[in-house]
């Protein structure tokens, strides 16, 4: 991973890493919920933005890379977790060490559904309503 050098001062965004947990609901049934696993400083890099077409739906996706300092907590982050930043939830697609295994930084690649500013989701059927 030569060529990628980060410094602690580059980590200027606060992100929340959330993890799926089981919790009892009002009927004492266990349901999956997302709970805060860690809140860490990160650098956000926009990787790409694009549209995917599937089943006659158009959905915009945002790809981002978050760089975090290596720690015992961030070492446990994987694709089962999510990143929350700026009110947006990102699904983690890959996590890797940077700096040739020296345990200094980790890159977390993520993808998120684009949010519309008019209150509808990107591929919501309500968009076609009058």
Residue extents of the structural domains in the chain = 8-115
- pLDDT band for 127, please (50, 70, 90 cuts): very low
Percent of the chain with pLDDT over 90: 55
What's the whole-number mean pLDDT along residues 26-55? 83
Please check the confidence at residue 130 and state whether its pLDDT lies above 60.
Answer: no
- CA distance linking residue 116 with residue 125, whole number of Å: 13
Superfamily of domain 8-115: Bacteriophage SPP1 head-tail adaptor protein (2.40.10.270)
Which token pair is 99?
């700096």
Check: CB of residue 91 under 8 Å from CB of residue 63: no
Model confidence band, residue 53 (pLDDT cutoffs 50, 70, 90): low
Enumerate residues 6+ apart whose C-beta is below 8 A from 102.
none
- The yes-or-no verdict on residue 46 having pLDDT over 60 is yes
Dihedrals phi, psi of 41, to nearest 5 degrees: -85, 145
Is 72 in contact with 40 (CB distance < 8 Å)?
Answer: no
Least confident range from 36-45, 56-65, 116-125: namely 116-125
Asked if 83 contacts 62 with a C-beta cutoff of 8 angstroms, the reply is no
- Residue 61 pLDDT: 81
Residues 6+ apart with CB under 8 A from 41: 11, 12, 13, 14, 15, 68, 69
Q: Predicted confidence band at 50 (pLDDT cuts at 50, 70, 90)?
A: low
Question: What pLDDT is recorded for position 118?
Answer: 54
Q: CA nearest 65: which of 108, 31, 94, 33?
A: 108
């Amino acid at each position: 991973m030569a060529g990628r050098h980060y410094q602690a001062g580059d980590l200027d965004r606060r992100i929340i890493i959330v993890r799926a947990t089981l919790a009892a609901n009002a009927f004492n049934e266990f349901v999956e919920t997302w709970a805060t696993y860690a809140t860490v400083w990160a650098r956000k890099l926009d990787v790409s933005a694009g549209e995917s077409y599937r089943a006659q739906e158009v959905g915009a996706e945002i790809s981002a890379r978050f760089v975090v300092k290596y720690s015992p907590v961030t070492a446990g982050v994987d694709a089962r977790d999510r990143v929350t930043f700026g009110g947006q939830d990102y699904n983690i697609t890959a996590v890797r060490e940077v700096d040739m295994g020296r345990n200094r930084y980790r890159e977390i690649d993520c993808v998120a559904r684009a949010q519309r500013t008019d209150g509808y989701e990107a591929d919501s059927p309500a968009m076609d309503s009058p």
